[in-house]
Amino acid sequence: MKMQLKRYLGSLVFVFLLCLSIALGSTAGVLFVYNSDLPQVSSLEDYRPSLITEVFGDDGQIIGSFALERRIVVTWDQIPQVVKDAIISVEDQNFYEHWGIDFYGIARAGLKNLMAGRVVEGGSTLTQQLSKNLFLTPERSFRRKIQEAMLSIQIERYYTKPQIFTLYCNLHFMGHGQYGFAAAAEYYFNKDLKDLNIEEAALLAALPRSPINYSPITHPERAITRRNYAIDRMVAEKKITVAEGEEAKSHPIQLAPKKRPDELAPYFVEELRRYLERTYGTFAVHEGGLKVYSTLNVNMQKAANAAVRQAMREYDKRHGWRGAERNLPNEGLTDLYAVELPDWKLPIRTNDIVPGVILDLTPTGATVKIANYQAQLTPQDIAWTRAKSASDILNRGDVALFMIRSMSSADRKVEVTLEQKPKVQGGLVAIEPKTGEIKAMIGGYDFDESKFNRATQALRQTGSSFKPFVYAAAVDNGLRPDDLIVDAPVSFGNYSPGNYDGKYEGTIPIRRAFAQSRNIPAVKTLAKLGVLNLIPYVRRFGITSRIEPVLPIALGAADVTLVEMVSAYSTFPNDGVRVEPQLIRRVTDYDGNVLEENLPKLHDVIPAQTARIMVDLMQEPVRGVGGTAAKAQELKRPVAGKTGTTNDFTDAWFIGYTPSLVAGVWIGFDEKVTLGDKETGGKAALPAWIELMQQVYKDKPVEQFETNPVLTTAAPETAPAAIDVVSSQPAPQIKK
């Protein structure tokens, strides 16, 4: 009997050992198979997450960024203790003790899930979550869980707890395009990570489980429940006291206020993006964390934005009211007091242009609802429409645009002016002549509606703003501002130019002809020079656009971009030297290595003598009798420049300069249709230029142009004889 029992036990032990061997072998085999295609965690040493490429202005302010994943990378020391405590309490209470897998945590989570009848807690460690985010797919399978566990063990072998925790904080998706806790802190609270309080740290720590479902923006009630759970976990783990936890839970979620779209320089930044992608590739720009130090000046760009947008709105108002954008009753919405427009969810500030709803019309005006404010529209607020009363142009339930002039939070009242969105477009470029740095750029009224950059991409006829190149060529051949020319009818074969005002002034000085932008003297001057001589001369100014060799180019018949024209004009105040325009000072990679550093690229274009004569001549439109830019005298400082107006008033230009800044403004429609009768460069474009300069030079000392009386009164002895533009002589060859 004992022998049988002994044999039975022996057989049982044998079977057990056999089964154990099979199990261990199978497990080893499975682990070998699953481990065979696992990535090497040692590659984490060289791992770099997708990073933001930041663009800085000339004073170091951030003006734009490019990123597929918006992420701000922090170090272990930059993560405050309250954030560390919140994450550990919510996600992995035994983080500092386990070796990648927390069996106790898995058991605890399983028990809680079983008792709740649903998944209420996960058992994954921070290391497991990190391995999944870095190396694995989000699929739910036994194979993936095995690989996740094995990777976690490897990660724990190679890296310290602070390294693992820091990677987790920098990599995790936090909702709304934000990656990492630092980016989330800035996005949700407009704070640096180090400045978060208990409830803010708890909210962020609660997000990784499901950033979409617990978003405080789209699901605030779920978010506060999840946040409070995180606070309770911090209390349970003794990271904070019960009193601190109750105090934190009593506070509502205070998110940073949403910002009204107010991009500083979208056309400039887009121009940079195109260049950077061509030069460094899409990956480097959107994931490589480049630092781009641009030439843009923030204050000048702000002034340019306000000036050009105001000029476009003023032009638009001159041409009448086009009607309300929409009418709510026609759309079936009758309770106007309950209406909420999407734009009202953003902060409303003084000088903002926002939509409002006409609640009621009165004999003298109208009542307007704008969010939870009301305004009384007066006749003065609609005066530009030339309507006698609001009821002549508006109906109850109309949605129209209004500029906020003033606000009163106490009685929820605002004062407004009726506005409408311009259909006209505009562009502006401002360049520092001594460096070639582009300080401001505008390519249109609304970048979101049209990304076409009218400053760099639009070829437009330049009108009389092209005349300075004709006269500069003549000055190079001996012409002086006080020489005389005959302003009288003339024909060149089938071409008979005329003056804008239809009048002729006979024999007048070049100064007067230039100041009044008279066409016939310009065409005569070009005829004397020779069209074929002018084109290569103009190329020296950096104008590469196609120019037909015909006499009308004297009046701006060539299509040229705004940035080319402004860069060409920068030659004059810079003593004949043109510096190539540039957008970038320096580009570095994430580690600070310089990839590109731009120094000024200089080109000798015309003699300093010629440049100074032209600076003197180009002040005539401002200071001369009947000058086309006389309004610029408001600046009370020396300025020079030239207006430009094309046939049928399709393009309006003004390009002008001081000794330290050249700026050009263009106004027109994309379709090249007329701006309207008498919408000249002096009327449509010059006001924006003046407003820009007033802001740029506010409280700054007056600058004087470099002058030399000898150069501006007589030709030097070595110069060829002055062109007799009164008589008819063969065209001289322009000096190269």
pLDDT tens sequence across 8-38? 555 555 445 444 444 444 344 433 434 445 4
Q: Is the pLDDT of residue 112 over 80?
A: no
pLDDT tens per residue, range 388-405: 999 999 999 999 999 999
Average pLDDT over residues 341-348: 90
* Better pLDDT: 140 or 607: 607
User: What pLDDT score does 220 carry?
Assistant: 93
Residue 720 burial (CB count, 10 A) = 12
Alpha carbons 494 and 487: distance in angstroms, whole number = 19
Task: Outline where 101-251 has alpha helix (H).
Answer: 103-116, 126-135, 142-158, 161-171, 181-189, 198-206, 220-236, 242-249
User: What pLDDT score does 156 carry?
Assistant: 83
3-state secondary structure 451-500: CCCCCCCCCEECHHHHHHHHHHHHHHCCCCCCCEEEECCCCECCECCCCC
Positions annotated as catalytic residues are: 91, 464
**b/e code 603-617 from CB counts within 10 Å (16+ = b):** eebbbebbbbbbbbb
Sorted by sequence, the CB contacts under 8 Å of residue 27 that are 6+ apart come out as none
Alpha carbons 522 and 37: distance in angstroms, whole number = 78
Q: By mean pLDDT, which of 94-103, 214-223, 282-291, 647-656 is the weakest?
A: 94-103
**CATH architecture for residues 425-713:** 3-Layer(aba) Sandwich (3.40)
* Better pLDDT: 30 or 507: 507
Contact 597/589 with Cβ under 8 angstroms?
Answer: no
Q: Is the pTM of this model over 0.85?
A: no
Alpha carbons 60 and 62: distance in angstroms, whole number = 6
Q: By mean pLDDT, which of 78-82, 113-117, 183-187, 346-350 is the weakest?
A: 113-117
**CATH architecture for residues 323-419:** Beta Barrel (2.40)
Q: What is the bridge-based pairing of β-strands 425-431 and 662-668? A: antiparallel
Contact 340/372 with Cβ under 8 angstroms?
Answer: no
User: What pLDDT score does 107 carry?
Assistant: 58
Contact 444/450 with Cβ under 8 angstroms?
Answer: yes
- Percentage, residues of the chain above pLDDT 90: 73
pLDDT tens per residue, range 657-713: 999 999 999 999 999 999 999 999 999 999 999 999 999 999 999 999 987 654 444
Alpha carbons 276 and 672: distance in angstroms, whole number = 31
User: What pLDDT score does 533 carry?
Assistant: 95
* Better pLDDT: 625 or 335: 335
Alpha carbons 210 and 658: distance in angstroms, whole number = 57
Distance of CA 652 to the CA centre of its chain: 25
Alpha carbons 722 and 457: distance in angstroms, whole number = 39
Alpha carbons 426 and 431: distance in angstroms, whole number = 17
| DSSP calls for 401-445 | EEEEEEEETTTTEEEEEEE-----EEEEEEE-TTT-BEEEEE--S
Average pLDDT over residues 228-250: 96
pLDDT tens per residue, range 62-110: 999 998 888 989 999 999 999 999 999 998 888 888 887 876 655 555 5
User: What pLDDT score does 262 carry?
Assistant: 61
Q: DSSP state, 610?
A: H
Alpha carbons 469 and 722: distance in angstroms, whole number = 17
Alpha carbons 621 and 619: distance in angstroms, whole number = 6
- Domain 69-249: homologous superfamily in CATH: Biosynthetic peptidoglycan transglycosylase-like (1.10.3810.10)
Number of residues in the chain: 736
Q: Kindly indicate the confidence band of residue 409, based on its pLDDT and cuts at 50, 70 and 90.
A: confident
- Percentage, residues of the chain above pLDDT 70: 84
Sorted by sequence, the CB contacts under 8 Å of residue 506 that are 6+ apart come out as 486, 487, 488
Contact 556/646 with Cβ under 8 angstroms?
Answer: yes
Average pLDDT over residues 586-613: 96
Mean pLDDT of the chain: 87
Q: Kindly indicate the confidence band of residue 718, based on its pLDDT and cuts at 50, 70 and 90.
A: very low
Hey, where are the domains in the chain? 2-37, 69-249, 323-419, 425-713
Alpha carbons 70 and 629: distance in angstroms, whole number = 47
